[in-house]
Amino acid sequence: MKKIFDLLFNGLGMAGLICALAVVAPSCVEANTAADLQKAKGKGQVVFVLVTEPGASGINEAEKVIRNAIKATQKSIMLWLDRTKPENAELVSRYRLSGPQIPLVLVFAPNGVIAGGGLAQGMTTERLLGMVPTKREAELIGILQSGKGVMILASRKGMAGEDEAVKACEKAREMSVGGLAVVRVDMDDMAEQSLLRKLKIDGGADQPITVVINSSGQIGGSFSGPANPKDLIIASAKKAGGCCPGGAKAGAACKPK
């Protein structure tokens, strides 16, 4: 099964999707600590982090790409992170930033999860925008990072079988031992179409579709119509080869670090 994580993660192995958002004036903030990321999370901002160190080349080019991305991304800011500063040691360790070539660009979703990243060299505005996750994808990534499995339930308002599919997912969530979460996706939400495509969910389906992802980020099964809660539980425990949005490179655990 093709790893869907790999379709979204690039560079450092982190996910991204194009998100169509309104144009706002650029906002650039210099910062060095995790507290600034927490503040941005509290404000629901997308954060583009430029990872640098003294003497690094290509900084101006990377900053230009980020500023262009900010112009096309609603509620977004830029933060600088000098990986040599002691106050940034926790972030450097958490995101394994001590070894990679720099400058690097990281993308954090409005809910605070790291959603994309890669080398600044060769980075384009379009590629950077492609790392900004949809709202539901960011929710999905956050759940996986917490160590839980996820049931992605895609449907549309008034669809036949929707209520039964919801009840099945809720029952499976209650029955699960390791913890399962449910993420609802509206098939008619244009902002989520890219996520549906990555999960191979037919947005024109006439029945609800449930994709089950285990706690390692592997896709364990896909169900059309209301599913049996026990089947959902079995799928959540299945070890498979495919990965969902938010996973790692091939050969590693699918779940983001």
- H or E element at residue 61: helix 59-71
- The chain-wide mean pLDDT, for the chain, equals 82
So what's the pLDDT on residue 245?
A: 55
pLDDT for the residue numbered 35: 86
Tokens of 147: 């160590």
Q: Is the pLDDT of residue 5 over 60?
A: no
Q: Is the peptide bond before 54 cis (omega within 30 degrees of 0)?
A: no
What does the pLDDT average to over 103-119? 93
pLDDT of amino acid 201: 95
Separation of CA 97 from chain center: 19
Q: Which of the pair, 120 or 11, is modelled with greater confidence? A: 120
Residue 224, pLDDT above cutoff 60: yes
Residue 205's nearest CA partner among 160, 170, 252 is: 160
Res 243: pLDDT: 56
Question: What domains lie within the chain, and their CATH numbers?
Answer: 18-129 (3.40.30.10), 135-237 (3.40.30.10)
Which pLDDT score is estimated for 27?
34
What is the model's pLDDT at position 244? 58
Report the alpha-carbon distance of residue 157 to residue 116 in Å, rounded: 31
Tens digit of each residue's pLDDT (9 = 90 or more) over 127-175: 999 999 999 999 999 999 899 999 999 999 989 999 999 999 999 999 9
pLDDT of residue 1: 30
The pLDDT of residue 177 is: 78
Q: For residue range 29-52, what is the model confidence (pLDDT) as tens digits?
A: 344 468 899 999 999 999 999 999
238 pLDDT more than 70: yes
Residue 198 is encoded by which pair of tokens?
Answer: 């990555």
Query: Residue 240 has what pLDDT?
Result: 62
pLDDT tens across 52-81, in order? 999 999 999 999 999 999 999 989 999 999
**DSSP code per residue over 79-134:** EEEETTSGGGHHHHHHTT-SSS-SSEEEEE-TTS-EEEEEESTT--HHHHHTTSPP
CB atoms within 10 A of CB 70: 23
pLDDT at 253: 39
Cα-Cα end-to-end distance for the chain: 22
> Which residues are 181's β-sheet partners?
150
